[in-house]
């Protein structure tokens, strides 16, 4: 295939609004299109690809986007990179299979919805890609904005520890992680979130996902029931399903999680909630509902997992104290992350556990995950104790609030009574709820994707039939100078799609 033919094919496939990967991040879409082009035989073995710089120019993409897709294909064996020569299609592809399987393989051919020898649990977890369908970062691709992060300062702090020659920082992170960081987190949570905590109760994790997984493994057994908000955070759902739990979706209203009368008489083993900023609707759990949930957990001897994922970013109204701070019976595990306040790829978070669980959780964290990254933890400690984190969060609040205001203003002007905005008082995303539940939010999201505006259908966050439909729109990483024109464009596309859907329904 000639280079300009390849470019034409890639452009065509990347712009397809109905493609199987239309809602994926742009680097993943390019990866899938290139991989499928190779497997279909359109690029023969030994074919030299254009340089990443040339390909980025021809496709009007950032070079980082192209390099990310190419690097993944090299890592998986579809391409081979030769120093000083270029990148070529590999002679032997990892996905090539004999056309006729041996008889022994035919006898144990798996069901179509459970490929090869995946367990039932594995098939359930991999049937739908959460990262592709549920992640809410920018509503336009290829321009993640990390300009506000002090990269040079962060590099200086890390370099300090690499030059210190402290070989203890090269070891595994035993006893819950780097103690100075645990002390800094405990001070921060006591002052800003009213968490009842000592440094010993703080465990350093790789983020919320690992914290949920650890809690589910240590506090529940296969087949136990877990309550989860409906709609809910997709990562929590995945982790709890992986632990073999039976999920009971509990409806959410303006006061947070809202169990029905019959559900108050059940006995879950674990309850997952986001009380300070319900994900994805954005509601704040009322004090009355918090007290009712804590009393229920104490009576039923079940555990509450409080995911406080973005509490740093509240733009209006008074901040709400943590659910854990109200807990008189030590039934709440409190989790937070630095991925929102710093940058997504830092993969550092924390879990605050009740004192009587500390020994078990220390053992579980070490034996199951072999934690490390002590150099990174040491640098983060200085970043917090020297006041840099607090300074950055204050600056980001102003920046994010300006982006939120511009986005909300454009959407209201374009859509009027067609929608209501939920969850705009805090966080890094808006939830746009359609006032007409008959509107197909999947179709509206696809229409946005056709204009390279990536939003997520609210209906996908529900377990079972959705109670309402809308769009989940991230705005934190959109460059400030672009958010207003992109927001206007988004409002126009959504309005056209909603009006077309209403017109078709009326006809």
3-state helix, strand, coil in the chain (%, to 5): 45, 15, 40
Task: Compute φ and ψ for 193, nearest 5 degrees.
Answer: -125, 5
Prediction pTM value: 0.75
Q: Please answer whether residues 442 and 426 qualify as being in contact, where contact means their C-beta atoms are separated by less than 8 angstroms.
A: no
Q: Decide: helix, strand or coil at residue 335.
A: strand
pLDDT at 143: 47
Q: Are 341 and 137 in contact (CB under 8 A)?
A: no
| CB neighbour list of residue 441: distance below 8 Å, 6 or more residues apart | 434, 457, 458, 459, 469, 470, 471
Alpha carbon separation from 383 to 169, 176, 192, 426 (Å, rounded):
17, 19, 17, 24
**CA–CA gap between residue 420 and residue 411 (Å, rounded):** 10
8 Å CB contact between 157 and 382: yes
In the prediction, which pLDDT does 133 show? 58
HEC per residue, 178-224? CHHHHHHHHHHHHHHCCCCCCHHHEEEECCHHHHHHHHHHHHCCCCC
All domains of the chain in start order, with CATH: 3-107 (1.10.10.10), 133-145+391-506 (3.90.1150.10), 151-386 (3.40.640.10)
CB count in 10 Å sphere of residue 159: 11
* pLDDT tens per residue across span 68-81: 889 888 888 888 88
Please provide the average confidence, as pLDDT, over all residues in the chain: 86
Residue 275 zone, left/alpha/beta (φ > 0; ψ -120 to 50; rest): alpha
Decide if 424 contacts 462 (C-beta within 8 A): no
Q: What is the pLDDT of residues 320-337, one digit of tens each?
A: 789 999 999 999 999 999
In the structure encoding, which two tokens stand for residue 331, read together?
């039934």
Give me the pLDDT at residue 308, please.
Answer: 94
Strand, coil or helix: 166: coil
CA 77 from centroid of its chain's CA atoms: 27
Question: Is a pLDDT exceeding 50 seen at residue 434?
Answer: yes
Please tell me the least confidently modeled range out of 46-60, 161-175, 191-205, 437-451: 161-175
């Amino acid at each position: 295939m000639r280079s300009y033919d390849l470019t034409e094919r890639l452009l065509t496939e990347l712009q397809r609004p109905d493609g199987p990967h239309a809602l994926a991040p742009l680097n993943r879409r390019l990866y899938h299109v290139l991989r499928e082009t190779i497997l279909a035989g359109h690029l023969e073995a030994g074919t030299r690809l254009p340089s990443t710089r040339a390909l980025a120019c021809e496709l009007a993409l950032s070079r980082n986007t192209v390099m990310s897709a190419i690097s993944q294909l090299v890592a998986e064996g579809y391409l081979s990179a030769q120093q000083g020569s270029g990148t070529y299609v590999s002679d032997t592809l990892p996905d090539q299979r004999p056309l006729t399987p041996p008889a022994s393989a035919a006898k144990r051919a798996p069901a179509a919805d459970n490929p090869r020898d995946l367990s039932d649990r594995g098939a359930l977890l991999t049937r739908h890609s959460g990262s592709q369908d549920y992640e809410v970062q920018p509503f336009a691709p290829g321009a993640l904005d990390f300009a506000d992060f002090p990269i040079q300062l962060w590099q200086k702090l890390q370099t300090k520890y690499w030059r210190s020659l402290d070989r203890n920082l090269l070891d595994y992170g035993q006893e819950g992680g780097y103690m100075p960081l645990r002390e800094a987190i405990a001070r921060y949570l006591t002052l800003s979130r009213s968490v009842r905590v000592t440094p010993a109760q703080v465990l350093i994790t790789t983020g919320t996902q690992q914290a949920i997984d650890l809690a589910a493994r240590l506090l529940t057994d296969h087949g136990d029931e877990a309550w989860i908000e409906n709609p809910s955070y997709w990562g929590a759902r995945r982790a709890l399903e992986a632990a073999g739990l039976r999920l009971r979706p509990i409806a959410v209203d303006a006061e947070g999680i809202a169990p029905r009368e019959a559900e108050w008489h059940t006995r879950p083993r674990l309850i997952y909630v986001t009380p300070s900023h319900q994900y994805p609707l954005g509601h704040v759990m009322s004090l009355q509902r918090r007290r009712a949930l804590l009393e229920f957990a104490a009576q039923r001897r079940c555990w509450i997992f409080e995911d406080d994922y973005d509490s740093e970013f509240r733009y209006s109204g008074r901040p709400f104290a943590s659910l854990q701070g109200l807990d008189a019976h030590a039934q709440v595990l409190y989790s937070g992350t630095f991925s929102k306040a710093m940058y997504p790829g830092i993969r550092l978070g924390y879990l605050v556990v009740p004192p009587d669980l500390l020994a078990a959780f220390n053992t579980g964290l070490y034996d199951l995950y072999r934690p490390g990254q002590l150099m990174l933890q040491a640098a983060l400690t200085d970043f917090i104790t020297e006041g840099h984190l607090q300074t950055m969060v204050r600056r980001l609040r102003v920046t994010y609030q300006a982006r939120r205001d511009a986005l909300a203003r454009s959407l209201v002007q374009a859509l009027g009574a067609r929608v209501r905005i939920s969850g705009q008082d805090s966080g890094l995303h808006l939830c746009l709820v359609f006032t007409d539940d008959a509107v197909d939010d999947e179709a509206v999201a696809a229409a946005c994707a056709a204009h390279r505006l990536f939003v997520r259908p609210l209906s996908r966050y529900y377990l079972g039939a959705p109670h309402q439909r809308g769009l989940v729109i991230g705005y934190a990483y959109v460059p400030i100078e672009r958010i207003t024109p992109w927001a206007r464009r988004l409002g126009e596309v959504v309005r056209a799609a909603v009006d077309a859907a209403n017109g078709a329904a009326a006809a």
